[in-house]
Structure 1
Amino acid sequence: MKSKLLITLLAALGLTVGFSAVAAPTTFATDANHTFAQFEYSHLGFSTQTSRFNTVSGTVTIDQAAKKGSADITIDTKSVDTGSTFFNKHIQDEDFLATTQFPTATFQSDDMIFKGDKPVALKGTLTLKGVSKPVTLKITHFECKKHPMTGADYCGANAETQVKRTEFNMGKYAPNVGDQVTILIAIEAAKKE
């Protein structure tokens, strides 16, 4: 179910460069300590459950002058964190993430959508449990500037999307456990030298 996270995915969030000096494509590598994919779903109608993947890595390339960008993000599905050791194992089993056979989920995009000088969406392909589907991430926050502690060029963003877990061969207990999964992504990335 949470697989959607992947979404990984996510993470790919259109990190567009806000630095005026940038006139050519610039690549940013994710900061492992500040990049996560979170997912939410209805559990039997009692509550909205929230979990996340702790290990997300990848790159985002931005060409601000051309208003184009791309992303290549990988999620370690074995890093799923539900807050429960028992449930972490349950989510990694064959009915859901099947992490033995599919240890990663990916999000790849070469279609970053801009409104003015800022990205507002990122269209790409989410591959989870061996199934690839088109996904559009809506960017809800975006910021590029010098990192106040390191002085490095950094970009950060938040994005969200919704997917159906049944479309990724993870439909066990649906519809009692919600089919629709909301994926929330937080990403911070440093300019590669």
Structure 2
Amino acid sequence: MKKLLTALVFTAVSASSFAAADSFAIDPTHTAARFEYNHLGFSNQEHRFDKTSGKITLDRTAKTASVDVVIDAKSVNTGYEVFNGHIQGEDFFSTAAHPTISFKSTSVKFEGDKPVSVEGNLTLKGVTKPVTLTLTHFTLQQHPMMKKDAIGANAVAKIKRSDFGMGKLAPYVSDDVSLSFSVEAIKE
């Protein structure tokens, strides 16, 4: 009987440690991926992608997490239909050959209970490069309308578009591109 009780306790403890990671589905209606660059020295232009999906896993006890995001490159929104088509062309996003952009984390750094940066691989136009996302905001709380735990976060990063085979018109149109992400994800 003592062995059976010990086995049950061990099984319960083991099961709870495996169940500690929570999975969150990205809410596409409250998630935005944006990019900004300097245009001919005149102004900084900011555009966005309208379709984003993915998953975030978070284990608050172990202080581990993962991020897996897919962006529909054809959903680029510059506010001008002709320009949307232009930057989907071969010189830039090449969406006919590469319809998605992805980011997959390799590690997440925590300070206390909160993630502060995410290391990962960004795949853009068929080229994969390491990128660090710096979190400028993170919260985990119950969603007031869905009554489920939810994550909210903002992150920023900088890349060189030429690293991804998109260097046309540089340096007139800046090679440096700032990325920003607003993410909300609901516990599954």
Please tell me the root mean square deviation across aligned C-alpha atoms, in Å.
0.8
| 2:172 is the alignment partner of 1:187 | no
Can you list the C-alpha shifts for 1:2-34, whole angstroms capped at 9, x where unaligned? Answer: xxxxxxxxxxxxxxxxxxxxx701110000100
Q: Secondary structure at the match of 1:33?
A: helix
Contact 1:27 1:60 in 2 (8 A): yes
Structure 2 match to 1:17: none
State the 1:152 CA deviation: 1.6
Structure 1 match to 2:43: 47
CA distance in 2, matches of 1:107, 1:41: 20
| 2:25 is the alignment partner of 1:29 | yes
Contact 2:106 2:121 in 1 (8 A): no
Q: Secondary structure at the match of 2:121?
A: strand
Amino acid at match of 2:145: M
Which fold has the larger relative contact order, with Cα–Cα distance below 8 Å and residues 6 or more apart in sequence? 1
CA distance in 2, matches of 1:151, 1:64: 19
CA distance in 2, matches of 1:85, 1:137: 29
Amino acid at match of 2:87: I
Given candidates 62, 69, 72, the residue that maps to 2:65 is 69
Which structure 2 residue ranges, 5 or more long, are not aligned? 1-18
Given candidates 100, 112, 119, the residue that maps to 1:116 is 112
Can you list the C-alpha shifts for 1:155-183, whole angstroms capped at 9, x where unaligned? Answer: 11000000000000000000000000000
Structure 2 match to 1:125: 121
CA distance in 1, matches of 2:59, 2:170: 42
Contact 2:40 2:174 in 1 (8 A): yes
CA distance in 2, matches of 1:187, 1:180: 23
CA distance in 2, matches of 1:111, 1:150: 29
Q: Secondary structure at the match of 2:30?
A: coil
TM-score under structure 1 length normalisation = 0.87
State the 1:110 CA deviation: 3.3
Contact 1:81 1:88 in 2 (8 A): yes
% identity of equivalent residues: 53
CA distance in 1, matches of 2:146, 2:163: 42
Tell me which stretches of 4 or more aligned residues in structure 1 moved more than 2 Å.
none
Can you list the C-alpha shifts for 1:106-150, whole angstroms capped at 9, x where unaligned? Answer: 000131110011000000000000000000000000111111122
Given candidates 89, 94, 98, the residue that maps to 1:98 is 94
Q: Secondary structure at the match of 1:27?
A: strand
Amino acid at match of 1:168: F
